[in-house]
Structures are given as structure tokens and as C-alpha cells.
């Protein structure tokens, strides 16, 4: 099993580092984490200038503190991509141990672990920049395995770490606690549910509001104007609600999430239902990314689906289980071919390599920017300049865009526009970017240029 984990982690480490070195990563969502962790490692408050918010006011991802010591000794900006690939790959181990126990077969346990790794969501999460959410696969899976095998120290460590990943993890941990209470240990399960909900309240009402002044920064993702409008529409306008629920490929999203396991979890749905609240949250959200498998919001659900399938398979007779496993294997590999980014799949991704002309030209341009100056940069360049106190993703700070607690605030000129020392932009800008820069360029002089990039320094 360790060999499979190593192969997966190695493959995606090489692939994601290649994407990063080919300028395929960005401020959202890689450079902002890189800057935040670097700031903490240097003793600074983690106010991330790439997004205009405190790192932990954006999301309560305190698990990132575990990476700070590595920033004392590792300067390579590819580091987080290797960490992410390893962490995602490790999720296969608790799936293996749990499935082996449920299905009473080491071979079938290994098969389910492989099917976990080839689930389309797993590979896409690995390729989507960097997110602390990538740790939720292994942590939720470990909590499920540990509860099932009565390894309670492992269980509480996994639950505690999961609570440090993100404020909304209670959408899975609270249902998990109910499953534990019913099937494993009543007291521990209820403690898990209550604690996770309490932690979510603390993170929203105290931590995030204290750091940003806003309690629910993403409340706009609830359709029909908020929770009240959502419930009113559900009750009084069911047809309108139904039309909304089938818009933007939402049914396809559910199909892509569940069909890799051939729906065998329906036989004994208790464990798979642990993920239903988060799945419903993603489906309902107005935020397009949440109901598409190419984005990290779905990773936390995959252990529930796969291990829920193992749980159900283990309740079948041996002959029925064997036949069902064949069906699951076929479904998993077919859906992986159709929808995952793995080798031999039908999907494609495109990015420059480190040997592409624009990338080579970017490296030359980056050499002309000192390490300790404030910079405004094109979004893909920020991923290679983030380890500094002050950096902005153009058009910030000259024109606000995705900056500050309110993601919809835009258009005004930030005070920092007067103090930015260096700017690096493509040699050719689109219309809106050109309009912003034409009003500012008079204050700067060109200090480096090539066919692809121009570096400016304040006069």
C-alpha cells in the first residue's frame, strides 16, 4: 500500500511543481497562503496583502501553523505543492485499513484505497493550486477508520486537526459524530458533534469576525438572498427552487461525485450519509466552483462516499459483495477515465513548461526585482514573489479587485498605490488592465523588459 501512496505522491508532486514552474499557479489560491505562512515564519502578523485580509480571517486554517518551521529552512516556492501531494496520497492509507477490516480482505482493502485515489475529485484537488483543505481527505478518513477500530487517540487527533483546517468542517464532523454515536461509541460521538459545532461558532463569531469585522463573509453564497429567502422559496415557490437546483450542471455534479462507487453505499447508507450535508451545501451554493468536481470543495466528501461504500460492501454476503466489488471497480475506472486528470484519461489540462519562452522570460524579469521591496504583479507572477511583506495582484492596489473582506468591493484606488515600488506586467495588456496602468505608468520607469514582460520602478 505504501508503494501506491508513494507513486501517487511522486507523480502529482512532479506534475504540480511543473505547473507552478510553468506559471500555472496564481495569487488565488496559492500565493496568498505562501505569503501568509512566510509572514508568520518571519515574526510578522499574517496580513496577506494579496487579498487584503488576515490569513486566519479569510479561513480559520490554523493547521497551516504546522508548516511554519519548514519555512525557516526551505526557500523553494514549490514546497507547498509537494506537501499537498503527499497529504492527499496519505488519505489512501486509512481507506485501506478501514476497507480491509470491513471487507475482511487485504486485497479488497487495497483495491478500495486505489479507487479512492482515482476518484476524479482527488486528482483535481491536487491540481487546483494549493489549499489547506487538501488535508481533510486523510483526516476525515483517519477519524472514520480510528472510530471503527476503536483507536481513540488516533480518532481525537484526527478530529482535532480537522477542526483546525477550516471553519465549516463541522458540516462533516457533526454528522460523523452521529455515526460514531450510533455505531461505535455514544459518548465520544456526541462529544464530536457538539464540539465541532461549537468550534464552528467560535471560528465564525469570534476569530474571523475579530480579524475581519465580518462574521459570515460568504453569506452571499446562500441563494435567494440568504437563509430566510432560501427557506421561503423552498416552501412557497417549489418550481423556482427546482429550476435552480437543476441549473449550472448541479445534477451532473452529484452524479460525478457518487457514480464512481456505483451507488453501492445505498445498501447500508449510514456512513455515506456523513457527507450529505456538505454535498447539499455545495449543490445549493451560488458559488459555481462548489458544485464542480475540479475544485477543492468536494474533497472532504470523498472519504465518506468511498468508505461508506466499503462499509456497505462489508455488510453483504460474500458472493454479493464480490459481484458488487467488480461493479464498483468498473464504475471507478470508467469515471476516472472520463472525468479525472490522471494519465490516460479523456480530460486535458494545458500550461506552459519551465522551458517555454514566456516562462524563461519571466525568470529573467524576476531577477530584476529585489527581495525586500513592495510589488504589484500579474497574478501568475505573484506565485513566485509572495515571500515578502507587501505584494499585490494587479490591478491592486491601483484599482481594487478581490481585495478586503468584501469580495464585491471594487474600482477604488487603494492608499498603497502611492507606495508600491516595483510593478511587473505582461508586455501586452488587455483593455481594462491597460486603462488602469495608463493612469499610473507616469509615476514609474522601465528597468527591465523583454518580449513578454516589463518591470517598472517608481520614479
Query: Among residues 339, 367, 391, which one ends one of the domains?
Result: 339
Please list the residues that pair with 357 across neighbouring strands.
none
pLDDT tens across 236-258, in order? 999 999 999 999 999 999 999 99
Q: What is the pLDDT of residue 114?
A: 98
Judge contact between 136 and 358, C-beta under 8 A.
no
109 vs 94: CA distance, rounded Å: 10
pLDDT tens across 398-416, in order? 999 999 999 889 999 999 9
* 225-239: average pLDDT: 95
Residue 237 lies inside a defined structural domain of this protein: yes
Answer yes or no: do 328 and 421 share one domain. no
Closest CA to 158 of 141, 175, 177, 181: 141
Answer yes or no: do 299 and 372 share one domain. no
Domain count along the chain: 2
Closest CA to 59 of 229, 262, 200: 200
Answer yes or no: do 335 and 435 share one domain. no
What single-letter DSSP state applies at residue 457? E
Please list the residues that pair with 270 across neighbouring strands.
none
Residue 312 lies inside a defined structural domain of this protein: yes
Residue 344 lies inside a defined structural domain of this protein: no
Residue 379 lies inside a defined structural domain of this protein: yes
Answer yes or no: do 242 and 129 share one domain. yes
Quick one: CA dihedral 338, 342, 343, 348, positive or negative? positive
Average pLDDT, the chain: 97
Answer yes or no: do 144 and 276 share one domain. yes
Answer yes or no: do 333 and 370 share one domain. no
Specify the DSSP element, H or E, that contains 48: strand 47-48
Query: Among residues 279, 308, 339, which one ends one of the domains?
Result: 339
Answer yes or no: do 440 and 395 share one domain. yes
Residue 37 lies inside a defined structural domain of this protein: no
- The pTM assigned to this predicted structure is 0.96
Answer yes or no: do 181 and 316 share one domain. yes
Answer yes or no: do 255 and 318 share one domain. yes
Share of the chain above pLDDT 70, in %: 100
Identify the three-state secondary structure at position 392: strand
Answer yes or no: do 131 and 226 share one domain. yes
Query: Among residues 339, 370, 386, which one ends one of the domains?
Result: 339
With bands split at pLDDT 50, 70 and 90, how would you rate the model's confidence at 216?
confident
Q: What is the pLDDT of residue 215?
A: 84
Residue 34 lies inside a defined structural domain of this protein: no
234 vs 257: CA distance, rounded Å: 24
* 285-310: average pLDDT: 97
Answer yes or no: do 162 and 112 share one domain. yes
pLDDT tens across 65-92, in order? 999 999 999 999 999 999 999 999 999 9
| Residue 209: domain span | 2-20+79-339
Answer yes or no: do 270 and 392 share one domain. no
Q: What is the pLDDT of residue 212?
A: 92
Residue 39 lies inside a defined structural domain of this protein: no
pLDDT tens across 51-71, in order? 999 999 999 999 999 999 999
With bands split at pLDDT 50, 70 and 90, how would you rate the model's confidence at 217?
confident
Judge contact between 416 and 374, C-beta under 8 A.
yes
Residue 189 has pLDDT above 90, yes or no: yes
Residue 65 lies inside a defined structural domain of this protein: no
CA angle 95, 97, 99 (to 5 degrees): 65
Amino acid at each position: 500500500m505504501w508503494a501506491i501512496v508513494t507513486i501517487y505522491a511522486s507523480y502529482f508532486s512532479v506534475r504540480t511543481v511543473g505547473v507552478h514552474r510553468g506559471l500555472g499557479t496564481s495569487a488565488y489560491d496559492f500565493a496568498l497562503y505562501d505569503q501568509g505562512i512566510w509572514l508568520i515564519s518571519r515574526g510578522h502578523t499574517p496580513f496577506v496583502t494579496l487579498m487584503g485580509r488576515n490569513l486566519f480571517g479569510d479561513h480559520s486554517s490554523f493547521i497551516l501553523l504546522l508548516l511554519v518551521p519548514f519555512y525557516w529552512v526551505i526557500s523553494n516556492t514549490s514546497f507547498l505543492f509537494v506537501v499537498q501531494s503527499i497529504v492527499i496520497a496519505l488519505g489512501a492509507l486509512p481507506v485501506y485499513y478501514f476497507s480491509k477490516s470491513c471487507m475482511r480482505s487485504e486485497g479488497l482493502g487495497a483495491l478500495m484505497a486505489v479507487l479512492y485515489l482515482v476518484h476524479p475529485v482527488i486528482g483535481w484537488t491536487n491540481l487546483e493550486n494549493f489549499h489547506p483543505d487538501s488535508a481533510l481527505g486523510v483526516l476525515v478518513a483517519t477519524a472514520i477508520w480510528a472510530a471503527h477500530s476503536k483507536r481513540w487517540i488516533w480518532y481525537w487527533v484526527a478530529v482535532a486537526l480537522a477542526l483546525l483546517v477550516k471553519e465549516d468542517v463541522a458540516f462533516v464532523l457533526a454528522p460523523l459524530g452521529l455515526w460514531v454515536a450510533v455505531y461505535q461509541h455514544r459518548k465520544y460521538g456526541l462529544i464530536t458533534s457538539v464540539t465541532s459545532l461549537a468550534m464552528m461558532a467560535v471560528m465564525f463569531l469570534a476569530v474571523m469576525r475579530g480579524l475581519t469585522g465580518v462574521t459570515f463573509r460568504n453569506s452571499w453564497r446562500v441563494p435567494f438572498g440568504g437563509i430566510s429567502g432560501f427557506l421561503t422559496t423552498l416552501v412557497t415557490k417549489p418550481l423556482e427552487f427546482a429550476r435552480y437546483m437543476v441549473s449550472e450542471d448541479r445534477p451532473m455534479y452529484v452524479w460525478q461525485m457518487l457514480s464512481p462507487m456505483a451507488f453501492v453505499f445505498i445498501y447500508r447508507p449510514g456512513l455515506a450519509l456523513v457527507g450529505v450535508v456538505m454535498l447539499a451545501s455545495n449543490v445549493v451554493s451560488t458559488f459555481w466552483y462548489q458544485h464542480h468536481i475540479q475544485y477543492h470543495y468536494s474533497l472532504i466528501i470523498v472519504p465518506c462516499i468511498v468508505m461508506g461504500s466499503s462499509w456497505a460492501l462489508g455488510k453483504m454476503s460474500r458472493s454479493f459483495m464480490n459481484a458488487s466489488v467488480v461493479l464498483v471497480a468498473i464504475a471507478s475506472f470508467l469515471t476516472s477515465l472520463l472525468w479525472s486528470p490522471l494519465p490516460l484519461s479523456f480530460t486535458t489540462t494545458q500550461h506552459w513548461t519551465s522551458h517555454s519562452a514566456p516562462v524563461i522570460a519571466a525568470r529573467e524579469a524576476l531577477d530584476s526585482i529585489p527581495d525586500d521591496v513592495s510589488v504589484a504583479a500579474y497574478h501568475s507572477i505573484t506565485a513566485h514573489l509572495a515571500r515578502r511583506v507587501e505584494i499585490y495582484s494587479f490591478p491592486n492596489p491601483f484599482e481594487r479587485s478581490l481585495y478586503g473582506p468584501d469580495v464585491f468591493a471594487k474600482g477604488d484606488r487603494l492608499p498603497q498605490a502611492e507606495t508600491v515600488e516595483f510593478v511587473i506586467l505582461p508586455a501586452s495588456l488587455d483593455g481594462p488592465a491597460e486603462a488602469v496602468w495608463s493612469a499610473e505608468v507616469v509615476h514609474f520607469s522601465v528597468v527591465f523588459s523583454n518580449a513578454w514582460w516589463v518591470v517598472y520602478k517608481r520614479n
